[in-house]
């Protein structure tokens, strides 16, 4: 029976959930919504702090992503694997989540107010006089090391809390028959969280110092402290929803897939971090998933750094940058939610491969528009100013914002859902460890790969604008590799879904590399 006939045309796109599934899905939605709410606020805040800091700019991002985020991602993935081998899933989830919340509280109320005393400005000023211009981003990373640490932890929130902890948890307890319906609803709620997060961050940001508050030395510091308090409160909400679900839902075997029930009955052999990478390298199926993740993050990183460089020139203060980027987040959430409602039944109607191809195609089209503006800046500038009263910088920021909105909308409405569905046919152990390797390291490799490219071009050309044409050529090649990986993975996933390939234990068999 099709989902449309089962629920009705409208309900099949908005809420294709049976009444007995509500108790299982609702706490998952609460967790995902709060995690995405924090993610949206933190993603924008970290950029506003680092990019608009004194003697800093978008050039700092490639250096942070290569020299700090990549090692941090590897270490955090190793720590996650170690804890998973020693402790229960519930304990690992709670320990890692609480650790993040403690850091955000300490940063907001202790480290940030003391940042000027902690930053080595004198040493950084000296380095600026002896190093080439292409190393200005590296110096800014060192100068503002507390903001760099905050940037890294915010990035790890996306990797560890959202991608590894939550989605590993969701994939483990979701049946393959439930996944298309559950994940389409989750996509809608995650997009709504982005809309609310953008406007909430703007409401908490103020340009006027409030003397009635007992904290903060200026308006921006007060705003950041209020935002950090909200982040911690939201994280506590995630923790409470997780504990309630473990106590009242997952204690009942009827809510668990068969393989998860068997896992409860018998202790499976745990894979070490090295074994997780070996397993990843020995499976074409996981290599294709990793290619999707690396390609997306590589493309986004290459484009966003150049766009944020334009935005930094357009919005010079931390407050203005934060307000602009959060308004953009809300617009992105509206577009993503609308796309999710339209595409909720697309996987069921058109198949996994067609749906998964939407993201690279959207990125290819929107990125072409943004880079075309940069390439023809000199010839278009006088025309734009004369007839439309808009500067080339304003147009570049607008087209970059449009690219960012539609690319993120595609990611949140279809990319995340299709990627997570691809993990569902795997065994519980391979879901956990293969996903940790892909999301914990694969996503970082994509971003760090883009940052290495930017660093090399910066050192050679000196500025992001001068290196933009070469970035555009690289982007085209990456997108074609991405599309080829989607088609290969789609063939394999369809075989698993239809039962053409079976594992000896009843699980889909993965083709070895």
Report pLDDT digits (tens) over 199-215.
999 999 988 888 888 88
Whether the CB-CB separation of 467 and 143 falls below 8 Å is answered with no
Q: Is the pLDDT of residue 268 over 60?
A: no
387 assigned to some structural domain: yes
Q: What is the CATH number of the domain that holds 116?
A: 1.20.1250.20
Reduced to 3 states, what is the DSSP secondary structure of residue 512?
strand
Give 283's strand partners. Answer: 512
CA distance 76 to 152: 11
19 assigned to some structural domain: no
192 assigned to some structural domain: yes
233 assigned to some structural domain: yes
113 assigned to some structural domain: yes
CA distance 411 to 24: 25
374 assigned to some structural domain: yes
Give 512's strand partners. Answer: 283
Whether the CB-CB separation of 255 and 178 falls below 8 Å is answered with no
DSSP letter (8 states) at residue 504: T
Task: Report pLDDT digits (tens) over 433-476.
Answer: 677 778 766 776 787 788 889 888 888 887 787 888 889 889 98
CA distance 31 to 150: 23
The residue whose two tokens read 């000296």 is 126
Estimate the crossing angle of helix 258-265 against helix 428-437, to 10 degrees.
Answer: 100
Mean pLDDT in residue range 120-131: 94
DSSP letter (8 states) at residue 208: S
Say which range, 117-126, 228-237, 341-350, 365-374, has the weakest mean pLDDT.
Answer: 341-350
264 assigned to some structural domain: no
Sign of CA dihedral 489, 161, 409, 402: negative
Mean pLDDT of the chain: 84
CA distance 482 to 170: 25
What pLDDT is stored for residue 115 in this prediction?
A: 94
CA distance 397 to 382: 17
Whether the CB-CB separation of 451 and 301 falls below 8 Å is answered with yes
Listed ranges 126-135, 276-285, 407-416; the one with the highest mean pLDDT: 126-135
Quick one: which of 127, 155, 120, 143 has its CA closest to 60? 143
Q: Is the pLDDT of residue 381 over 70?
A: no
What pLDDT is stored for residue 6 in this prediction?
A: 67
Quick one: which of 129, 189, 322, 172 has its CA closest to 262? 172
Contacts of 4 (CB under 8 A, 6+ apart): 12, 345
Reduced to 3 states, what is the DSSP secondary structure of residue 389?
coil
Backbone angles phi and psi of 255, in degrees to 5 = -90, -5
3-state secondary structure 430-495: HHHHHHHHHHHHHHHHHHHHHHHHHHHHHHHHCCHHHHHHHHHHHHHHHHHHHHHHHHHHHHHHHH
Tokens linked to 56: 């800093």
What pLDDT is stored for residue 425 in this prediction?
A: 81
CA distance 372 to 394: 14
What pLDDT is stored for residue 92 in this prediction?
A: 94
Under the banding of pLDDT at 50, 70 and 90, the label for residue 500 is low
Tokens linked to 315: 């919005």
In angstroms, how far is CA 326 from the centroid of its own chain? 16
Quick one: which of 69, 70, 92 has its CA closest to 80? 92
* Helices within 344-463 (DSSP H only): 346-350, 352-356, 358-375, 377-387, 392-410, 416-423, 428-437, 443-461
**What length does the chain have?**
513
CA distance 370 to 372: 5
The residue whose two tokens read 């506003």 is 48
Contacts of 384 (CB under 8 A, 6+ apart): 390, 391, 392, 395
Tell me how many domains the chain contains: 1
The domain of 234 spans 3-13+38-255+273-498
For 115-151, b where at least 16 C-beta lie within 10 A, e where not — what string? beeebeeeebeebeeeeeebbbbbbbbbbbebbbbbb
Mean pLDDT in residue range 108-115: 95
Task: Report pLDDT digits (tens) over 1-12.
Answer: 455 556 766 677
* Helices within 121-218 (DSSP H only): 121-130, 136-143, 145-156, 167-173, 179-204
What pLDDT is stored for residue 440 in this prediction?
A: 63
509 assigned to some structural domain: no
Under the banding of pLDDT at 50, 70 and 90, the label for residue 30 is very high
Task: Report pLDDT digits (tens) over 40-55.
Answer: 999 999 999 999 998 8
Q: Is the pLDDT of residue 379 over 90?
A: no
What pLDDT is stored for residue 44 in this prediction?
A: 93
Whether the CB-CB separation of 276 and 436 falls below 8 Å is answered with yes
- Look at 104 and 279; give whichever has higher pLDDT: 104
What pLDDT is stored for residue 264 in this prediction?
A: 45
Q: Cβ–Cβ contacts within 10 Å for residue 426, how many? A: 24
Whether the CB-CB separation of 157 and 60 falls below 8 Å is answered with no
- Look at 406 and 150; give whichever has higher pLDDT: 150
Task: Report pLDDT digits (tens) over 181-203.
Answer: 888 788 889 889 999 999 999 99
Under the banding of pLDDT at 50, 70 and 90, the label for residue 263 is low
pTM for the full predicted model: 0.78
Mean pLDDT in residue range 87-112: 95
What pLDDT is stored for residue 442 in this prediction?
A: 72
Estimate the crossing angle of helix 89-106 against helix 70-86, to 10 degrees.
Answer: 140
- Look at 336 and 48; give whichever has higher pLDDT: 48
What pLDDT is stored for residue 254 in this prediction?
A: 75
């Amino acid at each position: 029976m099709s989902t449309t006939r089962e629920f009705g045309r409208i309900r099949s796109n908005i809420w294709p959930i049976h009444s007995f599934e509500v108790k299982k899905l609702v706490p998952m939605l609460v967790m995902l919504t709060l995690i995405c709410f924090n993610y949206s606020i933190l993603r924008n805040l970290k950029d506003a702090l680092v990019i608009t800091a004194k003697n800093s700019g978008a050039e700092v991002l490639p250096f942070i992503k290569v020299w700090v985020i990549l090692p941090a991602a590897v270490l955090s993935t190793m720590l996650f694997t170690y804890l998973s081998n020693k402790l229960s899933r519930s304990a690992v989830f709670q320990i890692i989540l609480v650790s993040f919340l403690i850091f955000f509280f300490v940063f907001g109320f202790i480290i940030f107010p003391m940042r000027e005393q902690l930053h080595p400005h004198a040493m950084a000023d000296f380095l600026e006089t002896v190093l080439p211009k292409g190393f200005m981003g590296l110096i800014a990373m060192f100068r503002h090391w507390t903001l760099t640490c905050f940037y890294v932890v915010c990035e790890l929130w996306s990797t560890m809390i959202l991608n590894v902890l939550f989605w590993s948890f969701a994939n483990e307890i979701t049946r393959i028959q439930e996944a298309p319906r559950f994940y389409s609803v989750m996509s809608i709620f995650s997009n709504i969280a982005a809309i609310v997060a953008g406007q909430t961050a703007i409401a908490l940001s103020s340009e006027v110092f409030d003397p009635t508050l007992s904290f903060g030395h200026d308006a921006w510091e007060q705003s950041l402290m209020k935002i950090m308090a909200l982040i911690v409160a939201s994280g506590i909400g995630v923790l409470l929803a997780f504990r309630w679900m473990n106590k009242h839902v997952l204690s009942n075997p009827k809510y668990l897939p068969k393989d998860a029930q068997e896992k409860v009955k018998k202790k499976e052999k745990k894979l070490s971090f090295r074994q997780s990478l070996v397993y990843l390298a020995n499976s074409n199926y996981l290599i294709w998933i990793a290619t999707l993740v690396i390609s997306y993050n590589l493309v986004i990183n290459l484009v966003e750094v150049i766009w944020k460089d334009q935005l930094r020139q357009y919005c010079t203060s931390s407050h203005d940058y934060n307000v602009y980027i959060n308004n953009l987040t809300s617009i992105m959430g509206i577009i993503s939610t609308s796309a999710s409602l339209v595409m909720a039944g697309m996987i069921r109607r058109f198949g996994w491969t067609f749906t998964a191809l939407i993201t690279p195609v959207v990125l290819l089209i929107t990125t072409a528009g943004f880079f075309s503006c940069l390439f023809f800046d000199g010839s278009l500038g006088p025309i734009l100013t004369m007839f439309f009263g808009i500067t080339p910088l304003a147009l570049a920021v607008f087209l970059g914002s449009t690219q960012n909105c539609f690319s993120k909308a595609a990611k949140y409405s279809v990319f995340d859902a299709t990627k997570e569905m691809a993990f569902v046919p795997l065994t519980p152990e391979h879901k956990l460890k293969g996903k940790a390797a892909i999301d914990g390291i694969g996503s970082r490799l994509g971003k760090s790969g883009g940052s290495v490219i930017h660093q090399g071009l910066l050192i050679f050309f000196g500025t992001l604008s001068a290196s933009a044409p070469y970035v555009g050529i690289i982007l085209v090649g990456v997108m074609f590799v991405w599309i080829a990986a989607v088609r290969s993975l789609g063939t394999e996933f369809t075989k698993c879904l239809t039962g053409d390939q079976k594992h000896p234990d009843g699980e889909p068999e993965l083709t070895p590399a």
